[in-house]
């Protein structure tokens, strides 16, 4: 989250206003960022919040057992939906904080309680069926629940209940789900993680398909940003350095993004 907001702020410093986009696709942490930047709250204010001490945040880690479970599920099937069903079963069985407590954490991050006027797509996965779900303002789902579902890392955070169904992180289908932007003419993918393959969608495949009809640029963390983020992407203590690293990195990618965005 913090790195993404840093990148967006740095690009705005360079005259590249991605907040003016027609479409936002949010997956996992990206769903929080997309909901924040479309809320009407100034980007500079959202960035400054990343520099404040994370008093309301709960430290977490994707443990070895969780990663091993994902790996085992992938070895047993390369079919994406079957893989997600296996992970979903583990997510439902995992011991996590109560769902209501996690919902309060997500609420403290969002700066709005209603879907924005801009088109926002929030991704999630049904834990029981492995079905990929895309929520928008016409889905009849509360924005807070949609974002909470997209951020529900299986084995770490509790699945989110929506209309009797339990949903987990949309990143279990693809790290970015960038393919949802198909048909757009100018696309900027801000991808803090982009590893794919096997049961996960590959960003490279998604970008190749998007380039058939539009221009695409991908921004990933550089070496300094990866160092600032650290090995544990769920550590709130890394938020301020990650935000600063994202803002600094934006200067190096601004020309490439502007070539597409401002053309």
pLDDT of residue 79: 85
Poorest-pLDDT segment among 30-44, 55-69, 104-118, 135-149:
55-69
pLDDT of residue 101: 94
Strands 132-135 and 215-219 turn out to be unpaired
Q: For residue 228, give the nearest of 240, 239, 218, 242 by alpha carbon.
A: 242
How large is the average pLDDT for residues 247-261? Answer: 97
Residues 6+ apart with CB under 8 A from 240: 2, 50, 51, 52
pLDDT of residue 56: 67
Give the catalytic positions in this structure.
Answer: 28, 169
How large is the average pLDDT for residues 101-111? Answer: 90
Residues 6+ apart with CB under 8 A from 103: 144, 145, 148, 160
Cα separation, 196 vs 1, in Å, equals: 20
Do 110 and 144 form a contact (C-beta atoms < 8 A)? yes
**Domain residue ranges in the chain:** 1-59+96-262
pLDDT of residue 197: 63
pLDDT of residue 78: 73
Q: Which single residue is written with the structure tokens 């921004």?
A: 219
Residue 195 has pLDDT above 90, yes or no: no
pLDDT of residue 113: 82
How large is the average pLDDT for residues 1-29? Answer: 97
Residue 199 has pLDDT above 70, yes or no: yes
How large is the average pLDDT for residues 159-185? Answer: 96
DSSP, collapsed to helix, strand or coil, labels residue 114 as coil
For 131, phi then psi, to 5°, come to -70, 135
pTM comes to 0.93
pLDDT of residue 144: 97
Cα separation, 65 vs 9, in Å, equals: 36
Token pair in block for residue 197 = 């393959």
Do 89 and 172 form a contact (C-beta atoms < 8 A)? no
pLDDT of residue 23: 98
Task: Kindly report the average pLDDT of the chain as a whole number.
Answer: 92
pLDDT of residue 60: 82
Angle between helices 239-261 and 2-13 (to 10 degrees): 50
Residue 221 has pLDDT above 90, yes or no: yes
pLDDT of residue 61: 74
Residue 250 has pLDDT above 70, yes or no: yes
């Amino acid at each position: 989250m913090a790195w993404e907001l840093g990148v967006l702020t740095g690009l705005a410093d360079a005259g590249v206003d991605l907040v003016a986009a027609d479409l936002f696709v949010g997956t996992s942490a990206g769903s929080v960022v997309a909901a924040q930047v479309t809320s009407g709250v100034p980007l500079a204010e959202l960035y400054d919040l990343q520099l404040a001490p994370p008093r309301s945040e709960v430290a977490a880690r994707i443990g070895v057992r969780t990663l091993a479970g994902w790996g085992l599920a992938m070895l047993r099937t390369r079919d994406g939906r079957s893989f997600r069903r296996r992970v979903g079963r583990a997510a439902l069985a995992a011991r996590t904080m109560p769902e209501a407590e996690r919902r309060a954490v997500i609420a403290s991050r969002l700066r709005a309680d209603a879907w924005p006027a801009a088109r926002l797509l929030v991704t999630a996965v049904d834990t029981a069926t492995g079905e990929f779900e895309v929520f928008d303002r016409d889905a009849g789902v509360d924005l807070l629940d949609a974002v909470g579902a997209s951020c529900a890392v299986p084995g770490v955070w509790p699945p989110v209940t929506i209309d009797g169904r339990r949903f987990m992180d949309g990143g279990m289908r693809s790290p970015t789900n960038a393919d949802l932007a198909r048909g757009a003419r100018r696309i900027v993918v801000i991808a803090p993680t982009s590893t794919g393959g096997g049961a996960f969608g590959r960003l490279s495949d998604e970008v190749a398909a998007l380039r058939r009809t539009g221009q695409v640029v991908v921004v990933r963390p550089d070496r300094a940003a990866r160092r600032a983020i650290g090995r544990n992407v769920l550590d709130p203590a890394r938020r301020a350095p990650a935000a600063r690293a994202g803002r600094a990195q934006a200067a190096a990618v601004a020309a490439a993004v502007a070539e597409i965005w401002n053309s």
